[in-house]
């Protein structure tokens, strides 16, 4: 485990920079380790102190007579580097550098951080931090609280990784209030050495960790992160759910506006793609982070006494409640969470009618009425969970004078033991239901304060279930002319062309299996007449100018032209409108193009990001791109299965499936084109942006045709 075990389960810890002064970081972290009941041996290191909190202090690390597994460094950068060299001499196995003043301030701080990492990596010493809160392992066999947190959290089966130290303290307070337990708790700070991916791999193998929560500010790894994390979340060996919250969701803008893709593909599109492709569940708030983690971490016994995590096989949910209002709230949130109300079988309805009073509602949501005792809940829940048309259940209890929260909780637990379907509960209130809540928690049944929280959590379980159980199709074997594409790109760069219009872009796309339209570039009306003679009417005419990116805005696109005379007339009209739009624009000519057969308009695009690489885009195309912004993103490389899943996330996907009499579109062709676009983006790093808009997606079996496209190359390649 790359010596990370020495950081989280050390037998001995040295605190370098331990202080005798309460309130100083060096004192408080040492005190927290000591008072937390660390199961190993603890050594304070301070050349000016004989002892700290009655523990003998050592002048330096090398004067400690025994082996040291983990060293906590709480020193300024200039002194920390000396401590790192001493740690190497002492053969320490791991470092946690809590102090700040390194990468985050730049300059000398960054230099020192890089030097510490360099020398430690040569010796195989892993580093958490610098500029971090520390690490916590509440396991009773370890009990390490090497952090700013005064209290040791409860031991549980959820691990938490955070890039923000300040958030860590708030989360620990929040967890204590919820009686929430952790397996490992890690603040990673600057991520000089150990980063999120290292920790995710470690925690995946950790037997104490069943679920991982993570707070992210930024990632420094792209495709590698997706491939490795996919093995953690969706692999066959110990699949471990990861629930993430990322800062800055609304503040991130696009990198560029030179294309539709650049205008729509902000940084958050990258992270959405990373989370989706790697199987990470993304949440919007700390509350959701805890709610979803509680649902995923809960494991209850079956009738054989074995613990198991339950996820729904489908999205059909039964709701059992003793109050109409919360039932309606749960119903609304159930639907918005990707679930739907189950329709009960006649047998289930008959069973419910036989056990519930006449005033009860025996259809979904089932209302057992306010005066319900635990027997009504047990009979109703038993009936709906036995129904083959039900995949999971939400149980809502509001405290009333005759309510027995503990008895109801016991009844729910009995049913949960014999059912393979997830049962989530909402016990509303605090004191009147506390005994029932505690019983459910002790028996591994997720329980929430409000119905909407329970419904959202069940929706997350279903989303994870669909990711776990999705079918995998055999990959495509597509033929691409990479060499020809390289020649076209080299020629364009040699000629100083970096913004490629339809002619050059079309040549490139043809190398990767895209079907383009027969066309010619007319610089004069005479050339326009000659080109129109070689084409079959109707034709389209489009302005060609590197300065006019969106042709329609400039009146630079005219379709369905049916004669040579109309071609000549339209030539003048387009030229005049283009000059009115931008009098300084460089006009290369007018493209005269064969009209394509009708089809649904789709956009494919790509924008290349530092670190992450090509971000692909697919969605509704044509003029609807910026109007509806119904587009989905995926990071390359994308193969058949990822392409298929990405395309099916388009909100208007039904339009391609024969919606309201429209023809069924050739989705297989679109899948192949997205895979080809991915290959093109990976193979040619000179391509910075691409817009293929629209692609006309024809009827099933007839493929797709590129109607317009543009490609932007990287200028730096020529300069180098």
Q: What tens digit of pLDDT does each residue of 466-479 get? A: 998 888 999 999 99
pLDDT digits (tens, 9 = 90+) for 249-287: 654 444 444 445 555 556 778 899 999 999 999 999 999
pLDDT digits (tens, 9 = 90+) for 135-165: 999 999 999 999 988 889 999 999 999 988 7
Query: Do 666 and 523 belong together in one domain?
Result: no
pLDDT digits (tens, 9 = 90+) for 73-106: 999 999 999 999 999 999 999 999 999 999 999 9
CATH of the domain at 79: 3.40.50.720
CB atoms under 10 Å from CB of 123, counted, come to: 14
Distance CA 584, CA 592 (A): 23
**Per-residue tokens: 272:** 């959405």
Query: Do 702 and 640 belong together in one domain?
Result: yes
**Per-residue tokens: 523:** 């610089």
How large is the average pLDDT for residues 6-28?
96
pLDDT digits (tens, 9 = 90+) for 481-492: 999 999 999 999
Distance CA 405, CA 677 (A): 57
Closest CA to 81 of 104, 57, 113: 113
> What is the structure's pLDDT at 718?
40
Closest CA to 352 of 313, 304, 320, 305: 320
How far, in Å, are 85, 101, 669 from residue 108 at the CA level?
18, 9, 54
Please, are residues 165 and 108 in contact by the beta-carbon 8 Å criterion? no
The helix (H) or strand (E) run that includes residue 693 is strand 687-697
pLDDT digits (tens, 9 = 90+) for 32-77: 999 999 999 999 999 999 999 999 999 999 999 999 999 999 999 9
Query: Do 455 and 558 belong together in one domain?
Result: no
In a domain, 255, yes or no: no
Question: Residue 391: helix, strand or coil by DSSP?
Answer: coil
> What is the structure's pLDDT at 166?
76
> What is the structure's pLDDT at 330?
86
**Percent of the chain whose pLDDT exceeds 90:** 70
In a domain, 244, yes or no: no
In a domain, 510, yes or no: no
How large is the average pLDDT for residues 678-693?
95
Question: Residue 639: helix, strand or coil by DSSP?
Answer: coil
In a domain, 513, yes or no: no
Please, are residues 674 and 450 in contact by the beta-carbon 8 Å criterion? no
In a domain, 213, yes or no: no
Confidence band, pLDDT 50/70/90 cuts, at residue 303:
low
Query: DSSP letters along 468-520, please?
Result: HT---PPPP-----HHHHHHHHHHHHHTT--EE-HHHHHHHHHTTT--B--EE
Q: Which domain holds residue 549?
A: 518-595
Asked if residue 3 has pLDDT above 50, the reply is yes
Confidence band, pLDDT 50/70/90 cuts, at residue 301:
low
Confidence band, pLDDT 50/70/90 cuts, at residue 304:
low
Strand 181-182 to 154-155 pairing = parallel
> What is the structure's pLDDT at 504?
87
> What is the structure's pLDDT at 309?
82
pLDDT digits (tens, 9 = 90+) for 363-387: 999 999 988 889 999 999 999 999 9
Q: Last residue of a domain, which of 550, 574, 595?
A: 595
CATH of the domain at 420: 3.40.50.261
Query: Do 133 and 83 belong together in one domain?
Result: yes
In a domain, 206, yes or no: no
Please, are residues 245 and 216 in contact by the beta-carbon 8 Å criterion? yes
The helix (H) or strand (E) run that includes residue 178 is helix 165-178
Give the max Cα distance, the chain.
100
Q: 3-state DSSP helix/strand/coil percent for the chain, to nearest 5? A: 40, 20, 40
CB atoms under 10 Å from CB of 218, counted, come to: 13
Query: Do 590 and 614 belong together in one domain?
Result: no
Asked if residue 236 has pLDDT above 90, the reply is no
Please, are residues 425 and 445 in contact by the beta-carbon 8 Å criterion? yes
How large is the average pLDDT for residues 215-232?
91
Q: Own/partner pairs for 100-106, CB < 8 Å, 24+ apart?
A: 100/130, 100/131, 101/76, 101/77, 101/130, 101/131, 102/77, 102/130, 102/131, 102/190, 102/192, 103/130, 103/131, 103/190, 103/192, 104/131, 104/190
Distance CA 66, CA 151 (A): 29
Query: Do 449 and 582 belong together in one domain?
Result: no
Q: Last residue of a domain, which of 545, 578, 595?
A: 595
In a domain, 238, yes or no: no
Query: Do 344 and 448 belong together in one domain?
Result: yes
CB atoms under 10 Å from CB of 442, counted, come to: 11
Distance CA 352, CA 150 (A): 52
Distance CA 110, CA 98 (A): 15
How large is the average pLDDT for residues 343-351?
97
Query: Do 47 and 133 belong together in one domain?
Result: yes
Into how many domains does the chain fold? 4
pTM of the entire structure?
0.89
Give Cβ neighbours of residue 665 (< 8 Å, ≥ 6 apart).
599, 600, 655, 656, 657, 697, 698, 699, 700
| Helix 525-534 × helix 564-581 angle, to 10° | 130
CATH of the domain at 546: 3.30.1490.20
How far, in Å, are 232, 436, 691 from residue 310 at the CA level?
18, 21, 43
> What is the structure's pLDDT at 257?
42
CB atoms under 10 Å from CB of 237, counted, come to: 9
Residue-averaged pLDDT of the chain: 90
> What is the structure's pLDDT at 302?
63
Strand 340-341 to 366-367 pairing = unpaired
Phi and psi dihedrals of 677, rounded to 5? -60, -40
**Percent of the chain whose pLDDT exceeds 70:** 95
Phi and psi dihedrals of 427, rounded to 5? -105, 105
Burial 44-56 (b: 16+ CB within 10 A, else e): bbbeebeebeeee
Confidence band, pLDDT 50/70/90 cuts, at residue 548:
confident
In a domain, 101, yes or no: yes
Query: DSSP letters along 231-295, please?
Result: HHHH-SSS---EEEEES-TTT--BS--SSHHHHH-BHHHHHHHHHHHHTPEE-SSHHHHHHHHHH
Please, are residues 653 and 489 in contact by the beta-carbon 8 Å criterion? no
Asked if residue 133 has pLDDT above 80, the reply is yes
Query: Do 623 and 709 belong together in one domain?
Result: yes
> What is the structure's pLDDT at 265?
55
> What is the structure's pLDDT at 128?
97
> What is the structure's pLDDT at 624?
74
Please, are residues 125 and 3 in contact by the beta-carbon 8 Å criterion? yes
Output Rg (C-alpha) for the chain, integer angstroms: 31
Query: Do 530 and 397 belong together in one domain?
Result: no
Query: Do 431 and 574 belong together in one domain?
Result: no
Q: Last residue of a domain, which of 595, 623, 650?
A: 595
Query: Do 1 and 21 belong together in one domain?
Result: yes
Query: DSSP letters along 66-103, please?
Result: S--SEEEE-S-HHHHHHHHHHHHHHT-SEEEE---SSG
| 627 compared with 466, residue with greater pLDDT | 466
Please, are residues 333 and 455 in contact by the beta-carbon 8 Å criterion? yes
CATH of the domain at 645: 3.30.470.20
């Amino acid at each position: 485990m790359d010596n990370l075990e020495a950081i989280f389960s050390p037998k001995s810890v040295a605190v370098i920079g331990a202080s005798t002064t309460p309130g100083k970081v060096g004192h408080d972290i040492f005190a927290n380790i000591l008072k937390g009941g660390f199961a190993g041996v603890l050594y304070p290191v301070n050349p000016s102190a004989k002892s700290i909190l009655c523990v003998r202090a050592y002048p330096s690390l090398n004067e400690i007579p025994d082996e040291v597994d983990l060293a906590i460094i709480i020193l300024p950068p200039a002194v920390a580097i000396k401590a790192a060299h001493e740690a190497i001499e002492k053969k320490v196995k791991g470092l946690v550098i809590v102090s700040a003043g390194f990468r985050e301030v730049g300059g000398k701080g960054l230099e020192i951080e890089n030097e510490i990492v360099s020398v430690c990596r040569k010796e195989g010493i892993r580093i958490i931090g610098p500029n971090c809160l520390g690490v916590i392992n509440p396991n009773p066999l370890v009990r390490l609280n090497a952090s700013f947190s005064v209290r040791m959290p409860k031991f549980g089966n959820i691990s938490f990784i955070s890039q923000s130290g300040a958030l860590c303290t708030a989360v620990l307070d929040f967890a204590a209030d919820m009686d929430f337990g952790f397996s490992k708790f890690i603040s990673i700070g600057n991520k000089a050495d150990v980063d999120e991916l290292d920790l995710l791999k470690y925690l995946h193998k950790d037997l104490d960790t069943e679920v991982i929560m993570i707070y992210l500010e930024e990632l420094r790894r792209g495709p590698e992160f997706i491939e490795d994390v996919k093995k953690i979340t969706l692999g066959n060996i110990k699949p471990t759910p990861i629930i993430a919250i990322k800062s800055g969701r609304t503040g991130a803008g696009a990198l560029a506006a030179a294309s539709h893709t650049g205008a729509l593909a902000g940084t958050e599109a990258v992270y959405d793609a990373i989370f989706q492709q790697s199987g990470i569940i993304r949440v919007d708030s700390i509350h959701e982070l805890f709610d979803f983690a509680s649902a995923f971490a809960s494991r209850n016994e079956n009738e054989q006494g074995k613990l198991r995590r339950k996820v729904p096989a489908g999205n059909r949910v039964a709701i059992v409640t003793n109050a109409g209002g919360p039932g309606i709230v749960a119903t609304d949130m159930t639907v918005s969470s990707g679930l739907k109300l189950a329709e009960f079988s006649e047998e289930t309805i008959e069973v419910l009618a036989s056990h519930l009073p006449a005033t009860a509602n025996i259809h979904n949501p089932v209302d057992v009425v306010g005066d319900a005792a635990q027997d009504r809940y047990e009979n109703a829940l038993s009936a709906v969970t036995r129904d083959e048309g039900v995949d999971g259940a939400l149980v809502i209890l509001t405290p009333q004078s005759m309510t027995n929260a503990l008895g109801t909780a016991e009844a729910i637990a009995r049913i949960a033991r014999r059912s393979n379907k997830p049962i989530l509960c909402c016990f509303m209130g605090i004191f009147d239901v506390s005994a029932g809540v505690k019983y459910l928690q002790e028996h591994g049944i997720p329980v929430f304060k409000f119905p909407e929280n329970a419904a959202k959590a069940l929706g997350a379980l279903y989303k994870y279930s669909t990711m776990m159980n999705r079918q995998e199709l055999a990959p495509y074997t597509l033929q691409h002319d990479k060499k020809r594409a390289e020649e076209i790109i080299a020629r364009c760069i040699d000629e100083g062309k970096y913004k490629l219009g339809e002619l050059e872009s079309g040549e490139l796309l043809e190398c990767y299996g895209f079907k383009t339209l027969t066309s010619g570039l007319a610089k004069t009306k005479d050339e326009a007449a000659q080109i129109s003679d070689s084409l079959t009417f109707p034709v389209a005419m489009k302005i060609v100018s590197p300065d006019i990116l969106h042709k329609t805005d400039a009146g630079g696109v005219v379709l369905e032209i049916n004669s040579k005379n109309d071609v000549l007339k339209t030539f003048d009209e387009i030229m005049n409108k283009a000059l009115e739009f931008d009098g300084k624009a460089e006009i290369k000519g007018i493209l005269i193009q064969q009209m394509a057969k009708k089809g649904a308009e789709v956009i494919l695009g790509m924008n290349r990001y530092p670190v992450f690489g090509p971000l692909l885009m697919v969605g509704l195309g044509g003029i609807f791109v910026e109007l509806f912004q119904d587009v989905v993103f995926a990071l390359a490389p994308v193969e058949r299965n990822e392409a298929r899943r990405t395309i099916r996330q388009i909100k208007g996907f039904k339009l391609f499936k024969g919606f309201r009499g429209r023809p069924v579109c050739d989705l297989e062709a679109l899948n192949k084109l997205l895979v080809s676009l991915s290959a093109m983006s990976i193979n040619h790093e000179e391509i910075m942006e691409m817009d293929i808009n629209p692609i006309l997606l024809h009827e099933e079996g007839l493929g797709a045709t590129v109607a317009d496209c543009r490609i932007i190359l990287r200028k730096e390649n020529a300069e180098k």
